Amino acid sequence: MINTERLFIRPFRPRDAEDVFEWRSDPEVNRFMPYPCDGSVEEVRQRLEEWIADNDKFAIELKGTGRVIGDISLEWSEKDKAYEIGYNICRSFWRNGYATEAVRGIIDWACDKLGARDFTAFYAKENGASGRVLEKCGFVREHTGQYSRDNGKKVFEAIFVELHI
């Protein structure tokens, strides 16, 4: 478990499904994500089983409440030779610095426990809030490009960033 000032970053548990459904089903939170919204708590339960098995996506839990307010992933990218970070925060918790705190926490943990020194991330150009989170964490612009939803129907112009420690 990663312990920050206001958050625990920990593996997901099956009982997190109700909290996760709140943001995974929200079209506003999902607006720039490369996957469609989840349609039911049962879909989320199946997704949690995958996340728990893969062990590369973690719950962001608000200390003192036990409430899961988001997720954060840390995956090795063979192509980039770096750890790729992704995150989501429940809309009712936006604009409180939780995403920045979670990203900083997982970077510190990855440096300390994994010896990581190179990180990547990307965000939709239209998603300035996500860009500001990554900028506050020290990421710098590497290049622009595109990504799309899994179904290929929506393409996003994107900014790809990197951090070298």
Q: Over 80: is that where the pLDDT of 21 sits?
A: yes
pLDDT in tens, 124-156: 999 999 999 999 999 999 999 999 876 677 899
pLDDT of residue 73: 95
Q: Please state, in angstroms and rounded to a whole number, the distance separating the CA atoms of residues 138 and 81.
A: 18
Q: Which residues share a beta bridge with 141?
A: 161
Query: Model-level pTM?
Result: 0.93
In the chain, what are the domain boundaries? 2-121
Across the beta sheet with 2-3, what order do the strands follow? 2-3, 7-11, 57-62, 67-77, 82-89, 118-124, 155-164, 140-148
pLDDT of residue 4: 97
pLDDT in tens, 71-107: 999 999 999 999 999 999 999 999 999 999 999 999 9
pLDDT of residue 34: 85
Token pair for residue 96? 């409180």
Superfamily designation of domain 2-121: Gcn5-related N-acetyltransferase (GNAT) (3.40.630.30)
Q: Over 90: is that where the pLDDT of 13 sits?
A: yes
